[in-house]
Every structure is written in structure tokens, then in C-alpha cells.
A = this chain, B = another copy of it.
Amino acid sequence: MAAARRAFAELGKKVVCVGRNFGKHAAEMGEAVPTEPLLFLKPTSSYIFDGSTLRIPKAVTELHHEVELGVVMKHRVQQLSETASREEIMASVDGYVLAYDMTARCLQSKAKKAGLPWSVAKGYDGFCPVSDMVDAAAVSDPQQLQLRCYVDEQLRQDGSTADMIFDVPHLIQYISNIFTLEAGDVILTGTPDGVGPVQAGQVMRVSSRALPVPPRWSLVACH
């Protein structure tokens, strides 16, 4: 609950999300595995913290959970070379969060068919439930983390960051050549398989050995 562990949400400017970064999730969506990271943006206005309520917008008839590891940037990183060392890249990481890349699958499907942006389908207020930050020093290997999503205490997603197609240093290096990353910015690194719908009245939580206290969020319908 310490304010410092939520400081990224005030300080940061953007959430850079990675799509289809787990083979089994790409397959369940009927999509090919990408040959380079597939990026999109969520606004920081979509953050909600532990104990908050996600208000499901009226326009959203199918809301999906996607549990993801988030990487919080410690300082500005710009145009990292492909030859940058893993150590040099990882020194730019302040810590990690677990988060949901909530997705209005109904709106995203329409956008995909029409060749339109994903921003609304991914970016409504409340569409980024996020945990407090765990210091990078407390995470020995970000590629060995459980990613579990429970809805009403039923296990819906049970993945591991070991299965990422592009790992954390690769993503930071790649993104830094498109969008300058700044202190407090968050990279959501993609979801494992098992995504599915949630509804008003349900409670979502994430679980991972990385997080001492699993955060939870309840869902209500907007009227």
C-alpha cells in the first residue's frame, strides 16, 4: 500500500502493451505468432489499484481478462542498440507489477475487421487493473514468474513468463527504438492462454509468487 509502490502511475506517461507474446495465446486467438513485437498503447487513465471496482462500460458486451507481467521503467531509455547487454538494459527497470490488459473483445473484433485502431477496446477507464510495484531487486528472474488469473476464485489463466516469445530485455530494446521510454512508464508483456469473459458481480485476482499480497478487483456494470 505504500505510496512509493504506486508512484509509477502518477509519474509514468504511457503503458506500452505487447500483443501475442505467448504462442498458446496467439493460437487461441486464431492468430500467427508475430515475427517482431506487436505493440499498442493503453492510457495511464486506465489504471485501477487493488480493491478498486472496474465499471464495465455500457458499450462493452464482452470484456476479457488478460493477466500480464508489467515492467516499470526507472529512467528514460531511448534507442538502445541491438548490441546493448542484458545487464545494461535491465538496469533501466525499477520493478514489476502484475496487471490485467482488460480488453473489450467485442469492440476489438469489430476494429480488427474494419482495420481500425484498438485504442478504445483496450483503453477505457479501469481497463488496466494493476498491483503495487515489486522492486526489481526482489525479483531474481523476471522470466521465471507464475501468471495466474482467478475469477471468483476459479483458476482461469495459469502461465509462466518463461513462455514469452520476446523476453523483457528484448522488448525494452525494441520499444526504445520506437517510443522513448520514460521513468514510470509500464510495459505490459503479453498474456498467456486462457483469456475469457468476465461479468458484473465477479471478482478478479492475480496471483504470483512475486507478489506477497494478491490484489483483487470487483466488477460492476455501468448504468
Q: How far is it, in angstroms, between the C-alpha of A124 and the C-alpha of B175 when the chains are bound?
A: 10
Q: Which residues of B contact A219 (CB under 8 A)?
A: none
Minimum CB–CB distance for A20 against chain B, Å: 10
Query: Bound state CA distance, A43 and B181, in angstroms?
Result: 10
Cα-based distance from A87 to B45 in the complex (angstroms): 25
Bound form: Cα–Cα A35–B154 in Å: 40
Give the contacting residue for A178; candidates B13, B40, B125, B179; CB below 8 A.
Answer: B125
A115 contacts across to B, CB distance below 8 A = 111-113, 115
Q: For the complex, what is the distance from the CA of A15 to the CA of B13, rounded to whole Å?
A: 10
Are A123 and B45 touching (Cβ within 8 A)?
no
Contact B124 A39 (CB under 8 A): no
| Interface flags, A31-60, vs B, CB<8A=1, else 0 | 000000011110111100000000001000
> Which of these, B19, B78, B113, contacts A125 with CB under 8 Å?
B78
Q: Does A196 contact B (CB under 8 A)?
A: no
Residues A39 and B178 in contact, CB atoms below 8 Å apart: no
**In the assembled complex, A145 has its CB within 8 A of some CB on chain B:** no
Q: State whether B13 touches A44 (Cβ < 8 A).
A: yes
Contact B13–A45 (Cβ < 8 Å): yes
The verdict on A180 contacting chain B, using a C-beta distance below 8 Å, is: yes
Interface residues of A in 64-81 (CB under 8 A from B): 78
Contacts A78-B125, A124-B179, A179-B45 known; A117 to B13 CB distance under 8 Å?
no
Given A44-B13, A78-B125, A117-B178 contact (CB < 8 Å): no
Q: Please list 19 pairs of residues, one from A and one from B, whose beta carbons are closer than 8 Å in the complex, sorted by A's number.
A: A13-B14, A13-B45, A16-B43, A39-B117, A39-B119, A41-B43, A41-B119, A43-B179, A45-B179, A45-B181, A57-B178, A113-B115, A115-B115, A118-B118, A118-B119, A119-B119, A120-B178, A124-B178, A124-B179
**Residues of A in contact with B (beta carbons under 8 Å apart):** 13-14, 16, 19, 38-41, 43-46, 57, 78, 111-113, 115-120, 123-125, 177-182
For the complex with contacts A13-B13, A13-B45, 8 further pairs of A-B residues with Cβ separation under 8 Å are A13-B43, A45-B182, A57-B177, A111-B115, A112-B115, A120-B178, A123-B178, A125-B178
